[in-house]
Chains A and B, each alone.
Chain A
Amino acid sequence: MARRSATARKQETVPKPTKMAVTLRVNGEERTLRVAPWTTLLDALRLHLDLTGTKKGCDHGQCGACTVLVDGRRINSCLTLAVMKDGAEVTTIEGLAKDGALHPLQQAFIDHDAFQCGYCTPGQICSGLGLIAEGKARTAEDVRELMSGNLCRCGAYPNIVAAIEQVMSGKGLGEKKR
């Protein structure tokens, strides 16, 4: 009995889940959703907008599977709140292909066999796009260092680096195809 009343008291102190309106421009399309303050951008994308291409790996900013581009910069979507990103432009893996044609970096990942299970791949590709846009990588060593926030448990790292280098060097789509 005492336990029940303690539980009841505890529930009273928990803030009501007041949902807030958030507008995001996701892959070029304006989307308004109502989310609780503690909803991460990752959960908003996956659970509210049904964009499940962005993956939840560790949910602690350690694996990089949740990487998306926000206002053109790569971030871990698991460590930011959707309410904080009201008005932001978000690009996920679903927004990269245009008119049925893969983005050159998506094609490069296929060309170089840069994945096995594929779970980390959406994060790897979004991170790779962020890296290319930043323009700080010159060498393969730079690419490895600047991609170190994306883990690949299948160990496809050499091929991931090769795929990113292909796009960095400006070689066209599928140029290294068999």
Chain B
Amino acid sequence: MNNFGYARARDVGDAVRRIAADPGARFVAGGTNIIDLIKEHVALPSQLIDITRLPLNKIEETKDGGLRIGAMVPNSDLAYHPLVEQRYPVLGSAILAGASQQLRNMASTGGNLLQRTRCLYFYDTATPCNKRQPGSGCSARDGINRMHAILGASEHCIATHPSDMCVALAMLEARVLATGPGGERVIPFSEFHRLPGETPHIDSNLRRDEIITTIELPPQGFAANYTYLKIRDRLSYAFAVVSVAAGLEMAGDVIRMGRFALGGVAHKPWRDPEVEAELAGAPATTETFLRVADAVLRYARGHGHNDFKIALARRTIVRALTQAARGTPQSQSDKRIR
């Protein structure tokens, strides 16, 4: 590995001071992505600031009936937490659909948001990549782009965000709490990650000298009618080709309101609240679900190898909403899709 320095942050203020003082410094929490990127020579930090001992490892109820999740809570602890299992099962399901148990035991809640794309060209330092080296070009556009974006891409970058957890957090309308030199601010989840545009090297709107301290969930958890449906090349331990986190509030066979977010299709978890609003008051039928699927995908565009993802996303949305409406969420152990 390339050489780098190491410091351990004493508290959140200390972490912010250290990152602000050294433009080459990066935080390390679970390490599952940053250490891999250092080994691949994609990340070359001057020092790693260890934030694993910060007191951000609690999961607590908020006064309004929501949940506060410390940024250092390991993914596995979050997935299996009784309040998540009871009230936000879509979040637990999405987490357990991703990575392996070893990685989930290491990876932090905050770090999951900040993991970088698994675009092969981003990882391959022998090829141009605007995300790794701004202005060098995008190798994926005319390359092997089977895993790449069909929504929200730009001519500069067609990479996807790899997280499963974030797809559920987007659907649940989580809030990200971040602390920087100027104090704390709240970032709505939909504004946390960015589309690539002309600056694909910037994944999120978190500033370089800010640290994620907490993820907050609003009270609504869709515990009765939800699913996280992930379509991938292997049954387990593979990134999503397409995934859907869905949550519905039902009144008999009619949908009172519903939301869904897509993973594996864009530079950020993809939502279209205007289309989701069409679910309100509609019957929970295949016709309804096909209509919203087509509406969400109206601007979808393939790049050759990933053209199939448009049809796959359409079917995955319909199946996910069907599973949610029936109250039969996708099992992350028995992978048969019903």
Contact = CB atoms under 8 A, between A and B. Distances in A.
Given A38-B38, A136-B80, A149 B6 contact: no
A15 interface: yes
B205 interface: no
A5 interface: no
Given A14-B3, A37-B4, A144-B236, A79 B99 contact: no
B36 A131 contact: no
Contacts of B48: 37, 81
Interface stretch (B57-65, B102-110, B206-214, B221-229): B102-110
A17 B3 contact: yes
Nearest to A143: B333
Interface stretch (B27-35, B182-190, B266-274, B282-290): B27-35
Contact of A74 (B3, B50, B52, B101): B101
Q: Which of A20, A139, A141, A149 has the most CB of B within 10 A?
A: A149
A79 B31 contact: yes
B35 A79 contact: yes
A122 to B, nearest CB: 13
A64 B228 CA distance: 26
Interface string A48-67: 00000000000111001001
Nearest to A126: B102
A148 B5 CA distance: 34
- By size class, the interface of chain A is 35 or more
A67 B102 CA distance: 8
A25 interface: no
B237 interface: yes
B5 A18 contact: yes
Contacts of A150: 100
A75 B105 CA distance: 6
Contacts of A136: 80
B102 A84 contact: no
A146 interface: yes
A104 interface: no
B332 interface: yes
A94 interface: no
Given A80-B35, A81-B28, A136-B80, A36 B3 contact: yes
Q: Which of B46, B47, B52, B236 has the most CB of A within 10 A?
A: B236
B150 to A, nearest CB: 26
Interface in A129-171: 130-131, 134, 136, 139, 141-142, 144-146, 148-150
Contacts of B126: none
Q: Which of A76, A79, A134, A146 has the most CB of B within 10 A?
A: A79
A141 B333 contact: yes
A38 B105 contact: no
B237 A148 contact: yes
A113 B48 CA distance: 43
A107 interface: no
A130 B106 CA distance: 13
Nearest to A13: B46
Given A15-B3, A36-B3, A127 B102 contact: yes
Given A73-B105, A80-B106, A131-B101, A145 B35 contact: no
A131 B125 CA distance: 36
A74 B102 contact: yes
Contact of B236 (A14, A67, A80, A145): A145
Interface of B: 1-6, 28, 30-32, 35-36, 38-40, 46-48, 50, 52, 76, 80, 99-103, 105-106, 235-237, 332-334
Given A139-B333, A145-B332, A149-B103, 19 more contacts: A38-B1, A60-B40, A74-B102, A74-B105, A75-B106, A79-B35, A80-B35, A81-B48, A84-B31, A130-B101, A130-B105, A141-B334, A142-B333, A145-B236, A145-B333, A148-B235, A148-B236, A149-B237, A150-B100
10 closest cross-chain pairs (CB), A and B: A149-B100, A37-B6, A148-B236, A148-B237, A38-B1, A145-B333, A73-B105, A149-B102, A76-B102, A142-B333
11 contacts: A15-B3, A15-B47, A40-B1, A40-B35, A59-B39, A75-B106, A76-B102, A79-B31, A80-B35, A81-B35, A83-B50
